[in-house]
Amino acid sequence: MSFSFLDQIEFVPTSDKPKGKSVREQFIAKLDDQIKHFEEEANGREYVFTQGGKERTVRPWFRSKDKEVFVGDLRFGGMKIELPGQKQQSIRVAGGYAGIVMVLEAVKIDAMNGAFDAELGRLHAAIKARRAPVEAPAPKRRRVIRKV
């Protein structure tokens, strides 16, 4: 028995198979959570989601004192996403909840088109390095001083 499709495919080791969501998909999912958070907050409700059997809330990336002007950063894995030419700068968004949702939707579109892939890759590598197991230091040798 022969399979005709075998001529059209390439085989790779199973270890090369992607595990879980891509970094881009993870970022887009977090953007969706931020959007839902601000939409619910605009309606006077708190956005709650279930993860691992527990109810959780979203930690917003943007804060406001007057609910009209929001200041914050785009984040991935607890780290700030550095936008080109805007190092050490935060994002200021006017227009209330509608303004912040509109900006986050625009960011989501750019993320879906791959605009953040290089920066997300850099942050993902930093997160993996931060979580890498650290070798235990060699035990110290004890000196024994004997009195004669």
- pLDDT tens string 87-117: 889 999 999 999 999 999 999 999 999 999 9
Lowest mean pLDDT among 11-25, 50-64, 72-86, 118-132: 11-25
Q: What are phi and psi of 4, to 5 degrees?
A: -75, -25
Residue partners of 93: CB distance under 8 A and separation at least 6:
62, 69, 70, 71, 99, 100, 103
Sign of the torsion formed by the C-alpha atoms of 100, 101, 103 and 104: positive
**Distance of alpha carbon 141 from alpha carbon 28, whole angstroms:** 51
- For 12, 96, 114, 123, the CA distances from 108, given in Å and listed in that order, are 32, 19, 10, 18
Provide the whole-model pTM. 0.75
Q: pLDDT, tens digit, for every residue of 136-148?
A: 676 777 777 777 6
